[in-house]
């Protein structure tokens, strides 16, 4: 038997969540902590998602930690939306600055985590057979880290190369002179296609569901804007913390019906020109009221028809079957314009579905599409996938997969009944993917740190969500979704619909980050109401 490493806390994942969680537990609470990370370097989602065109769609001045004034003062972003290299530089800077690396083990994949009831601790095993024993286990594995490759018959016979955007090779992929097929037109596909098209001989985009997209209008940050950021960290942080999505802009107070049609079009036009997710913030009822939403949807569809020259391609791109922002709303750089290039074609899979992959390409019902490279921009087994892959077993050996057979059930997205002292950062049931992630992450990490600190001060050995509290919270998650148009797109990955057999449960909390923070703070203030503190 290999001897086990004993710790107070074990954190899984070295992205935004894991790095900050390590800092909080080790340097603020004085615990012995290690982070296990499957990748050879830190960065989490940004380590894996290095596909062409990859870029954050939160604005850089808000896509960062706010917990340290010094850190805010010494770091400066270069562009409106940072790409993976700059975000990785930032995270490496954070790791160096807080001396985090010495407690991170890279290239270490967790394959099992079992709760030992008698000892009240977690026993964690890695792929290479190492064992760790820890009182607290924090899953900081991200929401979009389990890549999903659809089960299309024939992939194993494909003679060319295939890659998934979420597991992009570090050395990159050379598209020059190649015929490329890209499956998927979510945020990732919409970012990747324009860049792939620039170097590939030919790009065929296979679209199952057409998507809205608004220009990102990425650009280098001006000196004036950098100055503004330098002198307004507090205000920027407060705006992020007080808005539903954690972004550095407020949602307009007006409703669509408060303005005339001409005023509304002018507002949309200005937001289109400004670019980015602020488009969604133009009216407060856009995600709450279908009729209001229709006006934004129509505006974007008209833009698509105006941009794309080929009428049939324009029709397929604008044939969108869900309300605007009901699926994760992408922002882009020349996505629709890309379909005006001679070397780019769109295949509408609704009209012409994929039959199989052949050795030389993809065969749809109408014809064969010869390809050298297939890019799967097909997304992730979101939110639950990364947690279920850890092989977690709680009380009585209950597997998390079993506990969640009918869909994820959590208390506040932070804990699962039957899994004591296991905390999930941005877990299902928390605002997570509906927000600017670092803001949600800081809130979760700080709450978890507060909870563990409370346990230690009060001699509490074991913290576990009550089943009734979790059931009540699941209901609130459902109710929050049902108040928005997000509930109308039942084929979105928010519902798990992209993974065959996955239960259709709306996973993130759509009630807004500010409200959620207040609920979490209130639970803590009431002595962690809804948690059994034994």
Give the nearest distance from C-beta 491 to ligand NA7 in angstroms.
6
Q: How many Å apart are CA 208 and CA 316, to the nearest integer?
A: 10
Give the nearest distance from C-beta 527 to ligand NA7 in angstroms.
35
Q: How many Å apart are CA 80 and CA 163, to the nearest integer?
A: 28
Nearer to ligand NA7, 56 or 271 (CB): 56
Give the nearest distance from C-beta 50 to ligand NA7 in angstroms.
13
Nearer to ligand NA7, 22 or 304 (CB): 304
Nearer to ligand NA7, 409 or 498 (CB): 498
Are 466 and 532 a contacting pair, CB within 8 Å? Answer: yes
Give the nearest distance from C-beta 317 to ligand NA7 in angstroms.
12
Closest CA relative to residue 300, chosen from 317, 312, 278, 283? 317
Give the nearest distance from C-beta 86 to ligand NA7 in angstroms.
17
Give the nearest distance from C-beta 377 to ligand NA7 in angstroms.
6
Are 300 and 314 a contacting pair, CB within 8 Å? Answer: no
Helix residue spans in 275-393 (DSSP H): 290-307, 311-318, 335-338, 385-388
Give the nearest distance from C-beta 340 to ligand NA7 in angstroms.
21
Give the nearest distance from C-beta 260 to ligand NA7 in angstroms.
34
Nearer to ligand NA7, 188 or 333 (CB): 188
Nearer to ligand NA7, 13 or 417 (CB): 13
Q: What share of the chain is helix, strand, coil (3-state, %, to 5)?
A: 40, 20, 45
Nearer to ligand NA7, 281 or 377 (CB): 377
229: enclosing H helix or E strand: helix 223-231
Nearer to ligand NA7, 31 or 485 (CB): 485
Name beta bridge partners: 357. 362
Other beta carbons within 10 angstroms of residue 534's beta carbon come to: 11
Sheet holding 179-183, edge to edge: 161-164, 373-376, 179-183, 202-207, 344-348
226: enclosing H helix or E strand: helix 223-231
Nearer to ligand NA7, 115 or 376 (CB): 376
Q: Catalog residues that contact ligand NA7 under the rule CB under 6 A.
A: 144, 150, 183-189, 206, 208-209, 328, 349, 377-379, 433, 493, 498
Strand 354-358 and strand 361-364: pairing?
antiparallel
CB-count burial class (<10 Å; 0-12, 13-18, 19+) for 398: middle
Are 145 and 12 a contacting pair, CB within 8 Å? Answer: no
Q: How many Å apart are CA 121 and CA 117, to the nearest integer?
A: 7
């Amino acid at each position: 038997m290999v001897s086990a490493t004993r710790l107070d806390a074990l954190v899984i994942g070295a992205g935004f969540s894991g790095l900050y969680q390590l800092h909080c537990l080790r340097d603020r609470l004085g615990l012995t902590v290690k982070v296990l990370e499957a990748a050879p370097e830190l960065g989490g989602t940004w380590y894996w998602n290095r596909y062409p065109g990859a870029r954050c769609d939160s604005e850089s001045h808000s896509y960062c930690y706010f917990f340290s004034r010094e850190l805010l003062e010494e770091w400066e972003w270069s562009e409106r939306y940072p790409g993976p290299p700059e975000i990785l530089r930032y995270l490496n800077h954070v790791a160096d600055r807080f001396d985090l690396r010495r407690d991170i083990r890279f290239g270490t994949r967790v394959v099992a985590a079992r709760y030992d009831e008698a000892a009240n601790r977690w026993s964690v095993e890695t792929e290479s057979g190492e064992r760790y024993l820890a009182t607290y286990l924090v899953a900081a594995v991200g929401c979009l880290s389990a890549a999903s490759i659809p089960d299309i018959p024939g992939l194993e016979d494909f003679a060319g190369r295939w890659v998934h955007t979420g597991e992009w090779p570090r050395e990159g992929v050379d598209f020059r002179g190649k015929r490329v097929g890209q499956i998927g037109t979510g945020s990732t596909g919409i970012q990747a296609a324009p860049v792939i098209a620039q170097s590939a001989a030919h790009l065929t985009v296979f679209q199952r569901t057409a998507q809205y997209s608004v220009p990102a209008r990425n650009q280098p940050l001006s000196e004036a804007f950098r100055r503004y950021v330098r002198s307004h960290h507090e205000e920027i942080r407060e705006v992020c913390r007080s808005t539903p999505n954690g972004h550095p802009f407020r949602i307009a107070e007006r409703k669509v019906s408060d303005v005339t049609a001409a005023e509304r079009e002018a507002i949309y036009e200005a937001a289109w020109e400004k670019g980015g997710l602020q488009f969604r913030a133009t009216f407060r009822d856009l995600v709450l009221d279908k009729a209001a939403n229709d006006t934004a949807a129509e505006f974007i569809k008209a833009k698509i028809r105006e941009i794309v020259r080929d009428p049939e391609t324009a029709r397929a791109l604008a044939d969108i079957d869900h309300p605007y922002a009901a699926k994760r709303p992408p922002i882009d750089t020349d996505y629709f314009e890309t379909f005006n290039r001679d070397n780019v074609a769109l295949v509408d899979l609704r009209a012409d579905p994929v039959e199989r992959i052949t050795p030389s390409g993809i065969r749809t019902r109408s014809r064969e599409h010869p390809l050298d490279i297939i890019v799967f921009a097909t997304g992730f087994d979101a939110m639950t996938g990364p947690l279920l892959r850890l092989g977690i077993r709680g009380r009585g050996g209950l597997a998390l997969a079993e506990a969640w057979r009918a869909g994820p059930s959590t208390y506040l997205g932070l804990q699962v009944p039957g899994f004591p002292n296991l905390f999930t950062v941005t877990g299902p049931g928390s605002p997570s993917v509906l927000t600017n992630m670092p803001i949600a992450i800081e809130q979760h990490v700080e709450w978890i740190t507060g909870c563990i600190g409370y346990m230690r001060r009060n001699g509490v050995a074991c913290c576990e969500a009550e089943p009734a509290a979790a059931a009540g919270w699941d209901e609130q998650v459902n109710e929050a979704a049902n108040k928005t148009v997000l509930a109308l797109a039942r084929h979105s990955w928010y519902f798990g619909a992209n993974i065959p057999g996955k239960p259709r449960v709306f996973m993130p909390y759509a009630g807004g980050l500010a409200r959620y923070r207040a609920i979490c703070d209130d639970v803590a203030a009431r002595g962690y109401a809804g948690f059994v503190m034994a």
